[in-house]
Structures are given as C-alpha cells and as structure tokens.
Structure 1
Amino acid sequence: MKTAYVRVSRSILMATAAFAAPVALAQTAPQAATEATTGAGATLDGTEIIVTAQKRSENLQNVPISIQAFGTKKLDELNIASFDDYAKALPSVSFQSFGPGQTQLSFRGITSGGDGLHGGSQPTAALYLDEVPVTTIAGAVDLHVYDIQRVEALSGPQGTLFGSSSLAGTLRIITNKPETNGFAGRIDVSGNKVGKGTGGGSAEGFVNIPLSERAALRVMAFYQHDGGYIDSVPGTRTFTLGDNNPDTNVTVNNAKYVKDNVNKTDTAGGRAALKVDLDDNWTVQPSVLYQHQTTRGSFLFDPRYGDLKVTDFGPGYNRDAWALATMTINGKIGSWDLTYAGGYFDRRVENLADYSEYSVAYDQFQGGFYTYFQAADGTFLDPTQQVHNHDDYTKQSHELRIASPTGDRFKLVAGLFYQRQTDRIVADYYINGISGIPNSPAVPKAGDDLFATRAYRVDRDYAAFADGSFDITPQLTLAGGIRVFKVNNTFVGFSGFKSGTTAANCVPVVADDRVCNNFERQAKQSGETHRVNLTWKIDPDRLVYATYSTGYRPGGNNRRPNVNPYVADTLNNYELGFKTSWFDRKLRLNGAVFYEKWNKLQYGLSPVGSFGVTNIYNAGDARVYGAEMDFNLRLGGLSLSGSGALIDGKLTTDFCSFDANGNPDCTLGVIAAAKGTPLPIQPKFKGNMTARYEFAMGKAKAFIQGSLNHQSGTRSYLTTREADLLGRTKGFETFDFSLGAKVSGFDVSAFIENAFDKRGILSINTVCTPSICGAGRRFYPIKPQVFGIKLGHDL
C-alpha cells in the first residue's frame, strides 16, 4: 500500500509543479523564505514567537486575534507527539473520539455532534498543515508531531482567510523547512510503559541536507508504538429469538477475544521536502508526507465490567493511511508578495467494530428482525453483528494570493481558492452466514450485510477573499476582510436493507457493489463571511483589540428520503482582547472575552425508527459566553506558563422533537432540548499550568518540570433524553513530571504522565442512539499513568 501511495503522490506532485511553474517564473523574493529566516520559534526571553496566522510573518504579540502558539522548544518540553497531547494543552479546544485517528475537533464549544458522519456536516474547525487544509469530511487526521516548527491554535471564526471549515477556529501545524545554510540532523528514541498496561516507544529522526547554495532537502521519518491498557474480559450474551421460544435462544461467548491490554497503536511515516531558490527572488518548495496508523481493540471501556474493561464479541481495529503532496511557490510582483499553495490529499480508513450491542438493543423494537436467522437445517445462526467501514477520502486544494508590503500603511492580502473533496463510502453491517439461509435478508451484492451503505460524496468550494488593514495613526489600526464563496455538494448511492432495493425510490444502476441508488441529492449555496477589527497599540509592549467576525458552514442533504435537508449554520463572534508584555518582557499576558451567536446549528442524531441512520438537523440557535487567557513568566532559570478558558454555551431556542418522518415538529408539543440546555462536549472550564526550572549541573544544562491540567465535566448529548441516559462526565485533574539534561549534543530525560493515574473521562458514547443502546454506554478515558525515558542526539 505504501508503494502505491508514494507513486500517486509523486505523480500528483509532478503535475502540480508543471501547473505552477509558469506562475512562479513571474515571481521574486519569497514570503516563505522570510518565515524561515525570521526564526519562527525564535523567542524573546523565551516568551514570544513568529506566526503566520494572518498569512504574513508577524510577532505573536502583534496579531490581534485569540491565538495560542507552541514553538519547537515548547512542543518538546510538553512531550507533545499526537492530537490528544496538544489538545490537552489548548483550553479552547475540545473533541470527541473513538481512539487515535477517529477524532472530531472543535473550538469554544462549537460542535455539531455530527462531524465526521457519513453524509454529515462538514467539521466546525479546520486543520492546516503548512499552507494546505487537511481536514476531511471525517474530521482531523492524527498527525504525528515531530520536526515541527510550531502549532498555532486560532480561536473564533477564521473563514475570511481559511474557508468554510473554520466556522469555530483553525488549528495550524507548521513544519520545519529545508535550509541551505548548513547540514543539520537529529535522532530521538524513547521507551515507555503504561502503569498497568504494556510498553511502547518511538524512534524519530531528520536530516537537513544542503544540495547547493540554492537548494536543500529535508527528510524526516518516525515509528511509534503505544502500549495497551484496556482488557477484553470474558462474557456471554443470550439472544432471545423472534419466536419467543426459550429452546431456540442462542447463547454466545467471547472466549476467543479475551485478552489483556488489547488497545495498541502502531504509527509510522515520514516527510520529504525540497526547497529550491531558482534565483535570488523566488522559491519553489514541493513536499510529500505519508503516515500509516493501525489501532487494535477498543479505546473506550464499559463501566459495567469494571475499570478499563470491555466485553467484545468480535475483533476490532482501525487502519488510517494517508499521503499528502504539496507545492508552495513564493515570489514577488513588484514589491507585492505572490504565493501559490496547492495540495493533493489521499486518505484511506478501514474500521472494524463489534456491533452486537446494537443488535440486542434494537431487536426489542423490531420483533426478531436483528436476531432470528434460521438455517435450512433448522439451527439458528449466531446473530452477533459486526460493522466494517471503508472510507476513501481525497482532497485537492489550490490557493493563489497576493500580499502588499508589510511596512505599508495600508496592507492587503487577497486571493482565489478552490477545493474539491470526496468520500467514497462502503459500510457493511453484517452477520456471518445470513446470505446462505432461506429467504435471506442479506442486501444484494453486499455479501452477509443486513444493512449496507454504498455512497459517493463530493464537496466543491470556490472562493475569493480579501483581508486588509489601514493604520489610521501609528497606534490605531482598522482592519477587515471578506470572503465570498460558492459550494456545490453532491451525495449519491444506496443505504438501507434488502427491502430498500425493491422500493419505488431505488433507481437501478449498473454497478458491482449495489443494485440501485435510493438517494441522489445536490446542495448548491453561495454566501459570504466577513470580519472587522480595531486595534489600539498602546505602546510597543501592549495592545487591545475589538473584533466582529462571522463564520459559515454549508448545509446539505440527509440520506433518508423523508428527512428534510439541513441548511447552512452561521456564527457571529464579538470579541475584546489584549496582548501585553511586562517587566522588560519577562511576563507575557494575553486574553480575550467573547460572545458568539450560533444560528441554525447543525446537529447529528439517530432518532428511534431511523434504523441507526444518523440525520443532520438544524437544532435552533445557541449562544456562547467565554473568556480565554494565557501567560508566560520567566525569572532567571524558572519559567511559569499556563492557559485557561471559561466557556458557557446554551441553546437560545427550543429544539423540537420528531414526527413520524423523522423531522423536528414543534406542533407536537414535545421538546428534544429546551431553551437554556447546555451545549455538549466542551468543558465549562479547562486550564493548565507548567513550572520549569533550568540550571547548570557541571557541563550539563539540566531541568525539572511539573504540569497541572484540569477540566470540568461535560454533557454528552445536546438532547435531554439522551443526555440523561448517558450522564455527564466528571471533572478531573492530572499531573505530569519530567527531568533531564543536555550535554555534548545529547539530551536525556525521564517523565511520568498522569502521575497519580487519574481516570479522567473525555466523552461517553454508544453504538446507536442512547434511547436504545444507552445501557451499553462506553467511556473514552484519558491515557492512564505512563512512565518513560527519552534520548536525543544532534547530528
């Protein structure tokens, strides 16, 4: 598979380069080169960093938006290697997850609950790798963090510069670029042990090789194994068959799936980037990145069977392989910077999970439909159900923009953007052997599927944007921006039971995987999103700002024929913030307060009678009040840093209950979620604090460090009935400690994460709607106590 990905990436990269080269020939000095040489990650008293959050290289303290940024040094200090690691350090970020590679990211509590679902809403938050968006319809990829220049977390709507998937915020991961000024390299290895689980470790390295005075190559590779800590324990399950005769009941056990520490992860990949200065005035930077991740077992546990224990009746795994080819070209037209950024992203996800809880729970409503399978010899099949999902995602994006000189009184960034992303869905809900029984309910052309989905989704986005600022006085700046766009989204295929293949609405097709299409829908929309900002720079170390900004997410269509389409939801953000440095810049203190109005919020839910199909609804309006703050204080060898967010989100209108067709209907007098209901997933308070002391120990530079992380409990569902059945998560605190030293180019450190083995729960989930499957709820915990050592060497 890896060879195929590399071959595809090479072809795309060459095609992109051929397309972009004529544009590049008209360009001169590169903006990206400026970013590379300003020392992005370079600090002032260890507290300040250069960012490109506004498509320009700027000091973090001069950017009038709520942004948290971690440079290379801070990422290493916090031992950040994966999504869960940096999400823990970002108070305004929350997420739902079923394990590595299965995460849906959100900012400030703006999450629909339907992100990443087949045919569901686009994500509310975008993930960018350098200049290219890599958020798929399924949500964020779990990028391994190594040889990274910085991570930027931009809270609030960022649609003016970053598009429709930035309704609530944008997370940007900026890689280290090739450099022509000398050879560099590093190797890092680590080993760790989950306190009550198994061991793991990693091997990582990079080299930066100057090829000439005008060209350089940077190559990074890694492998990481994460040990397991969830046990699959013995259990039995009795299926009461549809004839209600105890003699025909089927009892099964999970003996062949009983194993300790089942949830293990292996991740491997690498990146190759080339930088070519074709003359003194312009630069071309192609790159290819590949990552393959395999997880086994469940990362959620079932509290009915004990702490960190499950009883699964089938195998489970998730395979997530993706490749990204990009081309960035920077130059000048006169004194204006010109940038082209293009990328092609190919992601393939395969997931297998135990679905027997669904069969048992739903059967009481379907009279044996899910369990009563009699073979020709009179025996009954084991009705244990599995779900096998395949998603093939692609995404290509192209952006061409121009920027005025940074020193001008009037500054402008303007450009054009095109994006096309697809999701080819193959979902098999199967029971072994049902295709061979008399009067089989198996879906034609789908093997042993009781329910099957074969669908193809294409989302297209065309946009033009402009974002500018004018210095009214040297201290007062007025800025604003607008993005106009057009979307064209299509969704076609089959989803349903065998009976659906003979329904009047199922149009016959010639295909290997289905006999007909029972939905074919299109959503075309256009609109704009905008922002206005006023910044007062009180002095070189202090500024305050006021921002009004909006966000937009396209609507779409549901699979079920009687369920109405969902329309676009929008976000209005009103924000006051400050960026300050004190005591000769030894203390940095930044903060913001905000009010956000979420209009026609999109929410995913599987009502009873929907046969497990999640529909997307416009659940009404909501508001979010919040405050964010972060600080960094350096006193000699001691540094203190921390950040926190207080976020309160609630519905401002009633979300009505559902009629017989599955649509909200306020005339029924029943409320699914009343006005004032808290929004789910986002903790009301989330914060962290780190103390680090660096000191000389002979020839070594040593350190000791301790971190505290805290978050409050969360509501698991928006709708009242489901939320009550699942319950709330509880607040928790964790402590991390590390110590180490650097001497003669070697770094050695030891660490313990979640030192007191606190069992924090991040989310509660079920395999189907909680009103049916609530008894089988499962908890997604933070990682238990982990001990480890790390060794690194500069080449």
Structure 2
Amino acid sequence: MRAARVLTAAAIIVSLSSAAEAAQRHRLLLPGGRLGDAVNALGRQAGISIGIRDPALAALSVPAVAGKLSVEDALERMLARAGARAVPLGPRTWLIVSAPQRRPRSQPQPPQRVARLLPPKPRTKPARPPEAIEPPAEEIVVTGSKRQLPLADYPGVATLIDGDDPAFAGLGGSEALAGRVSAVTSTHLGPGRNKLFLRGIADSSFNGPTQATVGQYLGETRLNYNAPDPDLKLHDVQRIEILPGPQGTLYGAGSVGGIIRVLPNAPDLYDQEGGASTGLSATQHGGIGGDLAGLINVPIAEGRAALRLSYYGESEAGYIDDLERGLDDVNRTRTVGGRAALRLRSPSGWTVDLGLTGQHIRGEDAQFADRDGKPLTRHSYVPQDFRNSYALADLVVGKHWGDLHFVTATGAVRQTLTEHYDSTRMGGPPTQFEQRTEVTMLSADTRLSREGPQGRGWLIGASLISNRSEQSRALGPPDVLKPITGVRNGIEEATVYGEASVGVGPAITVTGGARLSHSRLSGAALDAPLAFAALLRTIEASRTETSFLPSVAISAEASPHLSFFLRYQEGFRPGGLSVTGALVQRFRNDRVATLEGGVRLLGGRDRSFEGTASVSYTRWNDIQADIIDFDGLPTTTNIGDGRIYTLDLRAGWRPLPGLMLDAAAVLNDSLVTNPAPSVIMTPTAPLPNVAKVNARIGAEYERPLSRAVTLRMSASARYVGRSRLGIGPILGEPQGDWLDTRLGARLERGNHAWSFTISNLLDERGNRFAFGSPFTLNDTRQVTPMQPRTVRLGWDVRF
C-alpha cells in the first residue's frame, strides 16, 4: 500500500509544473570599468546573485549603465560589446559566460535585433533552483557564510530557496519550510511552540530551558536563543538560506545543528510598490480557513530613504474533535503579524536599516489525538490552548569599499509562550498544568570582511549576547491554578571570532577559523517551597564558561564540472538550571563536532544537471535533553553522549525548457553511546526525533499560454521515516513513516494571479508526533495526525 502511494505521488509529480513572474525594474547606477566590479554593484542594487567563473571575463571593460531597468536589460547593455553573455539560472541568479563565436559569413546569419516600437513581450523569470541543489559556481552567493561567498566555493552543504517558491503558497511558515527541505525536521506541538532540527541533531521533544539546536536569523539579526521556534510567516521574503551542521565559528552557541537565515525583502529606495493577497481554504474532516496579506513600499527621498510595510493574518481550520467535552474542530489556530522596515542611504554609501517585526499566535486547543481511538478524536477534560507573542527590533548598519565590507547588527527580542496541558489523572477531578516562558534577548554582532576570487578572503568579528528566560509553572483545577517551582536562567556572552580562506595552487582553497567565547551563567528557582530555600542557595550560584571553537575546511575544483570539499566544525550550548519536581538542578554544557566530506557535480548544457552528495560523522558529548520525571513533568538533564552518521543527497535536472525536477534525501543513523546512569533507557537507543530517512521529490513547470498569460504548476511528495518521541520507557513511542503529497497551479495575467493548491492529496493520517500532554502520555497513547486534505483558492495582485 505504501509503495502504491509513493508511485502515485511520483507519477503526479512528473506531470506537473511551476515558473516565475515578470522581471522587476530597478533604478540602477552601475560604474563603467571592470566587469567584476559592475556585476557586484548590480547584485547589490537589484538584490540578486551574479557569478563569473572565468577571471579573464571579470577583467573585461564594460560601459556604465544607468536608468530604471530590469536586470536582463542592464546585463544586455553591459555585455553588448564584451564578448560575454548572461545565463539565467534562477529567479535572482545569473552566470556570466563567454559568448559563442560568430558564425562564418558563408553561413546564414541570424536575424538582427531592431529597436522595439511595440511594448516588449513580458519576460518571465527562469525556473528557480530546486531545494537542496547546490547551483553551479558563483550563480548563488551564500551570505550565511558572513561573506559574499560563491556557493561553488563554499566548503559545505547549503540550501537556498527563493522566497516566492510554490511551497510557500499562502502564508507558509516553518511547517512549509520543513516540507520543502529534507534536512529540516520539527516537533509538532503547534505553531509557535515547535522545536526545529537540522540533519539529525535533535535533543528532545519539549520546551525546556535548553538552548535551541538551530540558530534562526532574520537577515543579520538573531531570532531566538532558548525559546521555541517563533514560526514567523514567510511573507515578503527574498530567500531562505539553510546551512546544516555545526556553525560554531561564525555563529557561536546554539548552532550545533546549523542555522536557518530568512532574508526579507529590503525597502526599495527608488520605486513605489504594493501588493495584496487573499485565500480561502477548506480542510476535509474539518472547517474553513482563510488568509490575508499585503505590503507597500514607499520611497521617502529617492535614492536616500524608503519605508516598507507588510502585514498578514491567517486562520487555520481545526480538524480534531474532543469527544469528552463534545466539541468539534477544537484546534483552530489564528496568526496575525507584520514588519516595518526603514532604509536610509548616505551619499557616501553607508546604509542604515531599522526594522520592527511582530507576530501573535493563538491556538484554541492542542492538535493531538488518541492513538487507539476514532481517527482525529481524543478525550480531554480541560482546554489545552496556547499563545505565542513575538517582537523584534533591529538596527543594521553597513558599507562597501570595493571588496571590503563592514556590517554591524543589533537586535532586541521579547517572546512569551503560554501553554496549557490536561493533567487530569485517571479517575481524578479535571486539572490543568500551565507553563509560561518569557524570554528577553539583546544581541550585537560587528564584523569586517574582504571577498576575493574563488571564495578567498577573510573576516574578523565580535559579538555580545544577553539572554534572560523565566519559566513559571502552575497546577490545579482550571480556575484555581497554584504556582509550583519554576526556573530562571540568564547568560551574558562575549565573543571574538575570525576566518580566512587562502589559495593553495589555482584550484584548492583552505579555510581556517576560530571563535573564543566567554559566558557568565546564572539561575534561580521561582515559586520554590520555603523548605527547599537553603538547598537552592547552593545551586543558584552563578558560574562562568570559556569555549574555544576551531574550524578547518578544504575545497578543491577537479574540473569546471566537478568539485570536492572537506570540513571540520564544532558547536556548543551552555548549561543551565532545570526543575525536577520541587527541586532545581544543574545541567552541563554540551558540545558537537562534525567531520563532513562531499562532492558537487555540475553537468549538461548550461549546467542543466546539478547534484551534491555528502557524508558526515558527528560526535555529541553530554547531550542536553528534556525528559519526563516521575510526576509527569518535563525536566532537563544530560542524557549521555551520542554519535550520528549522515548521508545527504541532492539533485536537480532541467530536461526541457520550463521544466525543473529535483530530489533530495537525508539518511541518518544515530545512537546514544553511553547513557547517563540516572536515565532509564536501553543501551542502544537512537536520538529522539531523528528519522532514518527523510526524502522529497518535486517538479515545477511553466508554460506561457499567450503573450499576457502564464501557467505555472508544481507537485511534490515528501516521506518522513520512523523515529522515536524521546529517551526512556515513557517517551519511547514510535512516530513517523508518513507521506505528504502536494499539488499547485498558478495562473498569471498582468499584475493579477490566481492560485489553486492541494496539500495532503492522498489524505493520509500519519503520526507526525507521538505526543500531546506529558501527564496523560503514560495512560493514553497519543498521536499528532497530519492535517487532512486541504484545498486553497488564492488571488493576489501587485501594483
């Protein structure tokens, strides 16, 4: 049956499609002189990536270009007499190559171009690169490397996804991102309370005081520290960069699994822009949902200041029925949010970006069901609602001096998560558990970098972080909750770091770096019983930690179509305090080290085939994880050491004009090698939430139906293999082994577009997460089913 579903999904994918929108026009002022300098300026002004593999091409002389032009027109003017041409490789991606030699005069000559007297035919963006494909050479720049580093020269695996990818139709968030990228997995407690994991580095299923394993960033600014994923909607986003594996040298604590960096669209200093979208959805076995979003960009002083505002709201239908309370579709979720961004540019080239981001999520009830009951139903005695409020203010200042780049970023975050669980014991009166987490974070990062050819260059930087989190808890009848012991953790961290890449011959680049961090940790119990006051004073003492994180990497180009890389990187998370019953106890810092090697293959005419394969070994010492104590309360401890073997495979192919096929798979083999004596578990337990197989296949196709109408179509299928909920006998429940299939179509005509999407096409139930409430988990087996088949109709307009 499973094989039949997989074959059905594959057949659907091979038959469907997607493509792009008309080229945007920009106010450009490009210098004459070296082609390399001119394309760098074009990339910055238009927000795109342009690569040149041949150093001789970069040295060619080109004329200055100015005016309100599309990228294609600007490149055409720039390269008209340079003996070069620009090859489109993605929606914001170009590669400059040598132009073919002219045909001998004895051969028929192609028609000569003449001045356009009629309005030009609308141009569509080329097919976007697929998920997890390492696009060729310099056509995409990995800014997550904190340098303008061409992807072909980046010594590691990176996934770069365009912000208007079909997977984000409507108001996609982290759930859509996990569905788009095989390396990304998540718990499924609900929007705004999940934990994200990258490529098998997963600690536990619950929201305790441990720091996140994945560092999340909005542009240059850090989004979280030891709070759950804020799940900001991917609205008005330029692209998303995902770097799996430890990133300790550049990003410090909390990046043991990697980083996810969302780049929002920056204010346009020249052109006014606006847009709006709306959609209506229907969920089988559930209710009706809807979404609304909009944006406006207003230049305040042309070329000097601009304001960009975006907003959105969404109501996701519920589909879980609570039979005990006689309620249907209890798990509806509502989200509202937006962003304001102000950009200022001085005549000398300094850029100042001010941003405000806010979002509020309210879940009316939990989204789990009883494993042994009727599908999509459960029995609970009290509401299990949750709320997540998130606010971010950030300031980024930067300047370019040729290939020298300076940037400093400062951010302030306030996040509050309130969760309710059903803690009713079998045969007892209805009781409720409340957990409230409040996080305040200040972060600052300043760096200076220089970019050179073939990814060579250097950077130096310093950062400061101050994070304070309070987790208060209460238990009792729903209307008379009484406080129980909670915990407060604080950390102040100061860091210096650096990295340099040097050439060893013409085809080999060696990169080395290091990060030195000094942290001061403090903690205290909240609402603790007076009887434990003397004991707590011995635990609450603050302490300091110093961490040194080295890294080394090698990248080598065997041929224009084949390259290799090898990297060693480390990461860590600081320790803290956690609660066990009425007591507070320490947990130690943990540390991750990964050795990874890989190969990239770029082949076919205009590089129509791209593939990447990497294998890695990860050693994880003193793993911090959340477990369930004897009272049914979540607590945090060090469970032991672990190791992970990972095989990461990605490929993309453009067999026909307008058609893009992609496939990706991540295979993990994990093991807790020497469990701590205080943790009850088998000696060969795998890490929690780490599936042995995560795989995805997709297809996108674009077809112009007329001069003004374009049809885009897409399809995908994603398989998530089996995993375990957590560590120990209570948390050893199996989960996973489900297939999600999606279809989409989009009809574009001028500034208007109409879309149609179907998620979970086969209406699978699955079990995404074998958890709902820690208090009833021992009595009732739980599942978190997939959202049933959902159909969405959407309309959007640009003006």
TM-score range, shorter chain: 0.7 to 0.9
Which residue of 627, 644, 647 maps to 2:665? 644
1:537-548 matches, within 5 Å, as 537-548=557-568
**Is residue 505 from structure 1 mapped to residue 534 from structure 2 by the alignment?**
yes
Residue aligning to 2:46:
37
Which residue of 469, 474, 494 maps to 2:506? 474
Relative to structure 1, the CA distance from residue 334 to residue 545 in structure 2 (aligned partners, 3 Å threshold; closer, same or farther) is closer
Residue aligning to 2:224:
135
1:419-568 matches, within 5 Å, as 419-431=465-477, 448-449=481-482, 452-495=484-527, 500-503=529-532, 505=534, 520-560=540-580, 565-568=586-589
Relative to structure 1, the CA distance from residue 607 to residue 299 in structure 2 (aligned partners, 3 Å threshold; closer, same or farther) is same
Distance 1:432 1:352 in 2: 10
> Secondary structure of 1:677's partner?
coil
Shift of 1:309: 0.7
Amino acid at match of 1:479: T
Residue aligning to 2:628:
606
Distance 2:183 2:41 in 1: 28
1:166-177 matches, within 5 Å, as 166-177=255-266
Residue aligning to 1:594:
616
> Secondary structure of 2:594's partner?
strand
**Is residue 270 from structure 1 mapped to residue 334 from structure 2 by the alignment?**
no
**Is residue 290 from structure 1 mapped to residue 296 from structure 2 by the alignment?**
no
Shift of 1:483: 0.7
Which residue of 767, 782, 790 maps to 2:786? 782
**Is residue 722 from structure 1 mapped to residue 744 from structure 2 by the alignment?**
no
> Secondary structure of 2:369's partner?
coil
Residue aligning to 2:214:
125
Relative to structure 1, the CA distance from residue 409 to residue 94 in structure 2 (aligned partners, 3 Å threshold; closer, same or farther) is closer
Amino acid at match of 2:603: W
Relative to structure 1, the CA distance from residue 559 to residue 298 in structure 2 (aligned partners, 3 Å threshold; closer, same or farther) is closer
Relative to structure 1, the CA distance from residue 188 to residue 432 in structure 2 (aligned partners, 3 Å threshold; closer, same or farther) is closer
CA deviation vs aligned residue, 1:210-250 (integer Å, no higher than 9, x gap): 2222111111111111111111113xxxxxxxxxxxxxxxx
Which residue of 756, 762, 765 maps to 2:768? 762
> Secondary structure of 1:559's partner?
strand
Question: Which protein has greater RCO, CA pairs closer than 8 Å, 6+ apart?
Answer: 2
Residue aligning to 1:682:
690
> Secondary structure of 1:87's partner?
helix
The unaligned stretches of length 5 or more in structure 1 are: 1-28, 235-253, 362-370, 372-382, 434-446, 508-516, 659-663, 665-670
Distance 2:648 2:527 in 1: 43
Residue aligning to 1:251:
none
Distance 2:671 2:170 in 1: 35
Distance 1:86 1:783 in 2: 16
Relative to structure 1, the CA distance from residue 519 to residue 564 in structure 2 (aligned partners, 3 Å threshold; closer, same or farther) is closer
CA deviation vs aligned residue, 1:25-57 (integer Å, no higher than 9, x gap): xxxx9x999655341551346334433121123
CA deviation vs aligned residue, 1:76-119 (integer Å, no higher than 9, x gap): 666661111111222122222311111011122222216631xx
Structure 2 contact 405–449 (Cα < 8 Å) conserved: yes
Structure 2 contact 525–584 (Cα < 8 Å) conserved: no
Residue aligning to 1:69:
160
Distance 1:219 1:299 in 2: 32
Structure 1 contact 563–615 (Cα < 8 Å) conserved: no
Amino acid at match of 1:168: G
1:195-594 matches, within 5 Å, as 195-212=284-301, 213-234=303-324, 254=325, 258-332=326-400, 336-356=404-424, 359-360=425-426, 383-407=429-453, 411-431=457-477, 448-449=481-482, 452-495=484-527, 500-503=529-532, 505=534, 520-560=540-580, 565-583=586-604, 584-594=606-616
CA deviation vs aligned residue, 1:330-374 (integer Å, no higher than 9, x gap): 025796321110000111222233221xx339xxxxxxxxx5xxx
**Is residue 734 from structure 1 mapped to residue 750 from structure 2 by the alignment?**
no
Structure 1 contact 519–559 (Cα < 8 Å) conserved: no
Shift of 1:407: 4.4
Which residue of 684, 688, 702 maps to 1:694? 702
Structure 1 contact 189–203 (Cα < 8 Å) conserved: yes
Relative to structure 1, the CA distance from residue 455 to residue 569 in structure 2 (aligned partners, 3 Å threshold; closer, same or farther) is closer
Distance 1:104 1:409 in 2: 33
Distance 2:455 2:340 in 1: 39
Amino acid at match of 1:421: N
CA deviation vs aligned residue, 1:599-638 (integer Å, no higher than 9, x gap): 2222222332xx3444433222211111112222222121
Relative to structure 1, the CA distance from residue 115 to residue 165 in structure 2 (aligned partners, 3 Å threshold; closer, same or farther) is farther
TM-score by length of structure 1 reads: 0.80
Amino acid at match of 1:486: H
Relative to structure 1, the CA distance from residue 115 to residue 129 in structure 2 (aligned partners, 3 Å threshold; closer, same or farther) is farther
Shift of 1:736: 0.8
> Secondary structure of 1:757's partner?
coil
Number of residue pairs aligned between Structure 1 and Structure 2: 674
Amino acid at match of 1:687: A
Which residue of 614, 625, 631 maps to 2:645? 625
Distance 2:362 2:611 in 1: 41
Residue aligning to 1:155:
244
Relative to structure 1, the CA distance from residue 77 to residue 570 in structure 2 (aligned partners, 3 Å threshold; closer, same or farther) is closer
CA deviation vs aligned residue, 1:526-575 (integer Å, no higher than 9, x gap): 11112100000234443210011111111223335877632221111111
Distance 2:538 2:142 in 1: 48
Amino acid at match of 2:722: G
Distance 2:248 2:166 in 1: 27
Distance 1:649 1:465 in 2: 31
Relative to structure 1, the CA distance from residue 33 to residue 459 in structure 2 (aligned partners, 3 Å threshold; closer, same or farther) is farther
1:46-57 matches, within 5 Å, as 46=127, 47=129, 48=135, 49-57=140-148
Residue aligning to 2:712:
703
Identity, in percent, stands at: 23
Distance 1:386 1:278 in 2: 56
CA deviation vs aligned residue, 1:307-336 (integer Å, no higher than 9, x gap): 111222112321111111100000257963
Q: Which runs of 4+ in 1 moved over 4 A?
A: 31-36, 75-80, 332-335, 407-410, 560-564
Relative to structure 1, the CA distance from residue 100 to residue 32 in structure 2 (aligned partners, 3 Å threshold; closer, same or farther) is farther
**Is residue 104 from structure 1 mapped to residue 195 from structure 2 by the alignment?**
yes
**Is residue 82 from structure 1 mapped to residue 103 from structure 2 by the alignment?**
no
TM-score by length of structure 2 reads: 0.80
Structure 1 contact 80–86 (Cα < 8 Å) conserved: no
> Secondary structure of 2:152's partner?
helix
Relative to structure 1, the CA distance from residue 112 to residue 223 in structure 2 (aligned partners, 3 Å threshold; closer, same or farther) is same
Distance 1:782 1:762 in 2: 6
Structure 2 contact 320–329 (Cα < 8 Å) conserved: yes
Relative to structure 1, the CA distance from residue 692 to residue 603 in structure 2 (aligned partners, 3 Å threshold; closer, same or farther) is same
> Secondary structure of 1:775's partner?
coil
